[in-house]
Every structure is written in structure tokens, then in C-alpha cells.
Amino acid sequence: MSTSFAPDAFDRPSLPNPARLTTTAATKLPRWALLGLCLAYIVTGLVLREPWKTEDVIGLAQMWSAANGGWLQWLTPEAAGIAVAQEGPLATWAGAICMWLFAGPFGHVFASRIPNLIWFGIASASLWYGTYLLDRRAEAQPLALPFGGQPDARDYGRMLADAALLLLMATLGVLWRSHETSAEPAALAFQALAFYSLARMLDHPRSGAATLGLALGGAFLARGLPAVLPLLVALAPLAAWSRPLRPALRWMLLVSLPLGAALGLAWWLPATLRNPYWMNGWWNWHGSVLGWITPYGLSAALRNMPWFLWPTWPLALLALWRWRGHLASPHVHVPLALLAAALAMLPFTRQPVDAEYLAMVAPAAALGALALPTLRRGLINTLDWFAVMAFSAAAAVVWMGWVAMMTGVPPKIAHNIARQTPGFVVEFAPLAVTLAVLATGGWVAAVVWRLRSRPTALWRGSILSAAGVIVTWLLMMTLWLPSINYNKSYRDVSGRLAAALAQDRARHGAPRCVRSSGLGLAQRASFFVFDGLRFEFATNCPLVLLQGNASDLRNQASSGEYAHAQVLWEGSRASETRLPPERREYFMLVRP
């Protein structure tokens, strides 16, 4: 006797639906609250902040070079005359265009950050709509209650989409990367767009395939193969095993892959023809990123990735366990395939960094939202109170640090801060303090709302986590921003170097060029962004800027290569004066 299986046998759930909730639990989150949180999240940290080392200021220098250079700087980006043969040109293009359009009214620093608004908008909208399309499907709906009262499909999908977006904003590792003028925010945007595209293809294969092609091409142009390979790896199991996606398979082959390849080749071919030196460095960069993971890379990933993806990864794991009988359903296997593909790429990445973890953010948030309707009320309340206590403590620490800087009390905290920022002069900033007070008041109002109204909406814990992250970030970007700028910016040392060059120019006339020795890319980019300084490699330049640790440079000036050179200027960032000479980053301008 033979046994036969129906074609959809493996698509049938092996366990009952784990989601159980009432209509009140899917109460709509006011749109003004969600949009206000999104706006506060992304705008905070884009204004009043100095370009920080390393990727932040290098990305800004690339944009500035393209905006003020020729088409070759657009094709193969550079920073202050140095080829930056890594990642991709998309972030440089977007920043340069925004500088052209908005540098006049806003200045070139803020204009370069306007693309961050665009990238976050793409990422957040893609995650929201992708989650909504998946979770309004029949397979994802909660178990029907005996006497009715369960939410309808649209309300349920919207509630989980809201929760996924709030979890994105609550993810700790995304916070800084979303505000950085680098390729990473663009890569995150197009990886999230790929998630939306796969969800869209379930109902509209052709339009979903077109946006998937844009996502593949955009990810490649943002950060090359490391950004697009996780997406391609995820497509293979989805195309082979996802029964609902099989009707869209031909559109993937006919539209998505050719469109993505065409977008990538439209840049790669002319760049290879016009600047093979840059492209050779670009391939070398790929070789330095892709390969068998090193022991150090493995330990760093195990140490950093859990913090980067907190708090979404525990919820994502819980969701996979609770929905383990529904792995064949699209609302589970689409984000799972993207998450698993990003994880599968880690062993083939020599030293995984934040950019590799970004591919996990959107699918982990979508899965994390699925855990919420499966939790018992007591556990949900525990998570709510954990968010309240953790972020209330974080806000208190920020305020305590600011009070210590202003008054010297408590003395131990004041001493530790002064030791980290030697020479920093604290000034009272009324606008910053006002914004910090308003943000703190908003957090207190959210906690009081949770205490008094005892809301039943399932997004209440997610909104507390997201609001807590935003408030803490806003407090840091107001109360602590001057000291952070002092510690992470090269503006002061760049200004002193520019003044020394101007003084020498007044005495001896303008030199033909100034060359550098040992100057790092981040420092070169900073001097270019802040004061327009450029340094050459020609051996006949009359002035030389040296970079190294203080001990080595002073030895060179006294008895080494530059023993008979005239020292025109020497110094370092004031924040590094606390370090011993052998560890202090030092600069010296000499005339050999």
C-alpha cells in the first residue's frame, strides 16, 4: 500500500495558531504619535552635531569632494584627493546632490545629512508596509475566540506593523548608524525595501519584482557585494520552498535580477573603464571583507551582535519558537529567510562589523513583532516595566552627568568626566536644556500614562522602548553634545593647523604644496571638511605634516629624519592630552 501526500501537505500548520488577543489589544496607535516618534528619532543627532571620526567625517568628505569636483569624483568617490575604493557611490551621490540644493540655506554639513532622512524614510516605510502585508494574511491571524471579539485582519496587521517599526527604533545598534553620513544607512534602507518587495510579491508579483530589483541594485550601489549577497542568498530558499511565492518566481528571474544587475552595471562598467586603479582597490576591499571569519572576528561578533540587535533578537527567537508549527507560512518564512541568510553570511565575513548586522535589523523586527500576540499578559507587563526602569535610569544618568559637569557635584562623577575631556569648558546652553527638559517631561508623561490608564494595546511595550531610546538619545544630543563634539571632532586641531599654515604663508608666501606623512584618512578628511586643507604626496613640497604618536614624532624632530627641520606647529586634540605620549595622536608641521 502506497502513501501519497497532497501537494500542499508541507504548507499545513503542524501546531495551532499561538496568537490570541482581543480587539482592544489591536487598538490603533495614533498616527501623529508614530510619526512624531519617527521624526524625533531621525532628526535628533543630525543638527548641531560636529562630523565625528571615522566613517562619519570620511563620508562627508566624499560628498563634499563630489559636490565640488568633476564627474570622476562621482564615478569613483574620493575624500580630499584620496581614493576611497570601498563600499559604493550611492551615499556620495545623494549627499552631493543635497549639498548642491541645500548647502546655501543650511550649510554643507547639515545638507550632507539630509539623505539620512530619505534612507530612514525608506527603511521605516518598507518595514511597516512589509509587515502589514504579511500579517494581514489569513495564515497570520490570531485564533478565533469562542464568542468572537478577535481583531479583524487589517487592524491586526496594522498593530504588528506599528510594533515592528517601534522595535526598529528601539534597536540599539541602529541608533548611531542611522545618523551617520556613510553607506550603512543607505544599505539598511534597501535591505528593508527587499523585505517589503518579497511581501508585495505574494499579491502583486510584477510590482513586487520591480521594487525587489531596485532593492538589489540599491544595496549593491550602497555597499557592494557585502550588502547584496545576504539578499541573494535569501532568494534561493524562498524561491525553492515558498509555495505562495512560486507564482512570482518567473518575475524574479525576468525582472528582479536583470533590473538589479542593470543598475549595478550602469555604475560598475564605466567606473572600471575610466578608473581601473580605483576599481582594483574596490575589489581588494571586497577581499578584505569577504572570506573565512577570523578568530578575532568570531569573538567580536559574539560579543557585539547581541547588543547591536537588542531588544529585537530575544523577541525574534521567541517568535520562531511560538510559531514553529507555521514556518511554511509567509509571515514567518519571509523574514526568517532574510535573517537566516544574513546570519549565514557571517562565517564568510573576515571580521563582521555593524554593517553586516544591519541586514538582520528589518527581519528581526518583523519577527519580534510576531512574538507580542503570543505573550501572556504578565510577561508583557514585565517587559513594560523593564523598559520603564531601564530608560528612566538611563535618563537619570545623563542628567546626573550634566549636573556634575556644570556644578562639580557629585565630585567623583565630575572628576571622571573632566579626566575624559581635559581642557573642556562647560557652558550653559538654554536651548539645549529646554529641549532636554521637554523630552524628560514627555518621558514622565509616557510613564504616567502607562501607570494610570493601564492600556491594553499590544504596542504599549514597544512604544515605551522606542520612546525610551529616543529620549535618552535626545538628552545625550543636547546636554552632552558639546563634550562629545569636543572628544570626537577634529575641528579645533584643524583650525590651529590652518592658522599655522596661514601664518607661514604670510611670512614666506604661498607654498606650492604641503605633503603629509602618516596622515590617516579620517584626519585628512576632517582637515578638508573643516578648513579646506589638502595634502599631497609629492616629495618636493616645502612643508610636511606628520602624524604619529607624540613620542615618535618628537624623536624624529630631535634626532631622526627631521632633526634639522623647522617645526612650524605641533599639537593634538585637547581631549587626548590625558594619554601618555606613546599613545597620544600627535601632529607636527615642519619645513625640512
Which of 348-357, 376-385, 461-470 has the least mean pLDDT?
376-385
How is residue 536 annotated by DSSP?
B
Q: Which residue has the cell 606613546?
A: 582
CA–CA gap between residue 249 and residue 256 (Å, rounded): 10
7 burial type by CB count under 10 A (0-12 exposed, 13-18 middle, 19+ buried): exposed
Phi then psi dihedrals of residue 241, to 5 deg: -115, -15
CA 539 to chain centre: 40
Taking CB atoms within 8 Å and a gap of at least 24, the contacts of 297-306 are 297/349, 297/350, 297/351, 297/352, 300/351, 300/352, 300/353, 301/346, 301/352, 304/354, 304/357, 305/352, 305/357
Paired residues of 290 in beta bridges: 349
| Cell numbers for 467 | 520612546
User: What is the C-alpha R_g of the chain?
Assistant: 27
Q: What mean pLDDT do residues 62-80 have?
A: 93
The answer on pLDDT for 7 being more than 70 is: no
Task: Determine the Cα–Cα distance for residues 566 and 589; give it in Å rounded to an integer.
Answer: 9
Cβ partners under 8 Å of residue 74, min gap 6: 66, 89, 92, 93, 96
Other beta carbons within 10 angstroms of residue 514's beta carbon come to: 19
Chain-centre distance for alpha carbon 216: 18
Residue 254 DSSP symbol: I
CB atoms within 10 A of CB 280: 12
280: pLDDT strictly greater than 90: yes
Question: Model confidence at 247, in pLDDT bands (50, 70, 90)?
Answer: confident
| Cβ atoms of residues 587 and 574 within 8 Å | no
Q: What is the pLDDT of residues 457-467, one digit of tens each?
A: 888 889 999 99
- The amino acid at residue 432 is A
Mean pLDDT (the chain) is 91
- Rounded Cα distance between 571 and 554, Å, is 11
Helices H, strands E: what count in the chain? Answer: 25, 6
The answer for 8, left when phi > 0, alpha when psi is -120 to 50, beta otherwise, is alpha
Phi, psi of 423 (to 5 degrees): 85, -5
Q: What is the DSSP string of 55-84?
A: HHHHHHHHHHHHHTS-HHHHHS-EETTEE-
CA atoms within a 13 Å half-sphere pointing along the CA-CB vector of 183: 23
* DSSP, res 349: B
CA-nearest of 398, 479, 485, 482 to 432 is 479
**Span 116-144, mean pLDDT?**
95
Model pLDDT for residues 420-441, shown as the tens digit of each residue = 888 888 899 999 999 999 999 9
Cα four-point dihedral sign 419, 423, 424, 427 = positive
Tell me which DSSP letter residue 253 carries: I
pLDDT digits (tens, 9 = 90+) for 505-564: 888 887 778 999 899 999 999 999 999 999 988 888 889 999 998 888 888 877 777 888
Q: How far is CA 296 from CA 69, 289, 293, in A?
A: 39, 14, 8
pLDDT of 345 > 60? The answer is: yes
